[in-house]
Amino acid sequence: MSDAVELLEQARSGDRRSLSRLLSHIEEGGESPVEDGSGTSLGITGPPGVGKSSLIGRMIDVWTERGESIAVLAVDPSSPRSGGALLGDRMRMSNADSSDLVYVRSLATRNHPGGLMDCLTPMVDVLAACGWQNIVIETVGAGQAEIRVVAFADRILLVDGPDRGDIIQAEKAGIMELADLIAINKSDLPDAERAANAVRTALSVGADENTPEVLLVSAHSGDGVEEIIEALSQTTTTKGRERLRVRERLISAWDSTLLSSPNIESTLAALETGSMTLSQAVEQIRKGV
C-alpha cells in the first residue's frame, strides 16, 4: 500500500513511469491509493472496424489544440485459448506517442467478465487524481462483457459506420439505450446520412423520450469532430439510462463475486460429473460467498 502511495506522489508530480506502474498495480488487483469513484470518464464503444480508435485520435488533436490533457484506456479482448492479447488500438492514434498532454494505456480483458471492470474505476480515479482532464475508455462493443466495460463510464459515445446497421442489431444487446450520443463515422463515404437516419428512426420508435442525438463525423477528414466534443460536453445522463448502467455494473460485480468464490472449482467439478444440479450449484456458491 505504501508503495502505491509513493507511486501516486511521483505520478502526480508528472512522472509517467510511476503512473504506468501504479496502473499495473491496480490491474493486478492491488489496492488503489485514491478515493473510489472520484474520477469521471467518457466511454467510447461500437462494432469492430467503425473507426473508434481513429476518431479518438482526432479527438486527441482537438483537445491538445485547446491545451487540454487526455488519457485513454484502450480495452481489447484477451484470447480465450492462450490468455494472451494483441493490443493495437494506439497505432490508430497517430499523435498519441509524442505529446506530453496524451497518455494511452492498452488493457486486455484477461477473460474475467467482471475482473477488468473492477480495476477500471480505480484506474480512472488515479488518472483524475494525477490531473488528466479528459479520460476516455475505449472498448469493442461486440459482446455483453464489453458493454459492461463501457457502463463504467460516466458518459457514453456510441460509434457506428455507414452501411452497417450494426448498432441497430446491437440494440438487442442494449448498447443503444446506454448511449448519451451516437456518432456515425466515415461521413466522407456515401450512405452515411442514410445510416444516420436509419438509427434516428430506430431510436424514435422506442418508449424512451430522451433519445440520444445522432451526429455525422469523419475521422478520415476530421469533419464533425469538434461538434462531437461540443455535444458531449453538453450531455447529461438521464435517470432511465443511469438505471441501466447501474444494472450492468451490478451484473459485472456479481460475475466477479461468482468467479472469485472459494467454492468455484469444486462446484464446477461437481457440475461436470453431474453430481450437482445448476440450482444446487447456485445455492452452494451463494452460501460460500
Partner 1 sequence: MLEGHQRSASIDRNMRIVVAKPGLDGHDRGAKVIARALRDGGHEVIYTGLRRTPAEIVRIVMDEDAAAVGLSSLSGAHAVLIPRVCEGLREAGMGDVVVFAGGIIPEQDRSALYEDGVRAVFGPGTTTSEILDFLVTLGQRAEAGEPRGVGEEAGWHW
User: Which stretches of the chain bind partner 1, using CB under 8 A?
Assistant: 16-17, 20-21, 23-24, 26, 28-30, 36, 78-79, 81-88, 90-92, 97-98, 103-106, 108, 110, 112, 114-115, 118-119, 121-122, 253, 256-257, 259-260
CB of 68 to partner 1, least distance (A): 18
Ramachandran angles phi, psi of 7, nearest 5°: -60, -40
Judged by beta carbon, residue 69 or residue 211, the one nearer partner 1 is 69
- Confirm if 189 and 49 have CB atoms less than 8 A apart: no
Q: How far is CA 233 from CA 142, 151, 186, 226, 227, in A?
A: 26, 18, 22, 11, 10
Judged by beta carbon, residue 91 or residue 282, the one nearer partner 1 is 91
CA–CA distance, 175 with 143 (Å, rounded to integer): 10
Judged by beta carbon, residue 160 or residue 248, the one nearer partner 1 is 248
- Confirm if 173 and 147 have CB atoms less than 8 A apart: yes
Judged by beta carbon, residue 1 or residue 240, the one nearer partner 1 is 1
- Confirm if 54 and 61 have CB atoms less than 8 A apart: no
Judged by beta carbon, residue 56 or residue 175, the one nearer partner 1 is 56
CB of 86 to partner 1, least distance (A): 5
Point out which residues pair with 155 in neighbouring strands.
42
CB of 193 to partner 1, least distance (A): 31
Point out which residues pair with 76 in neighbouring strands.
108
CB of 47 to partner 1, least distance (A): 21
CB of 12 to partner 1, least distance (A): 16
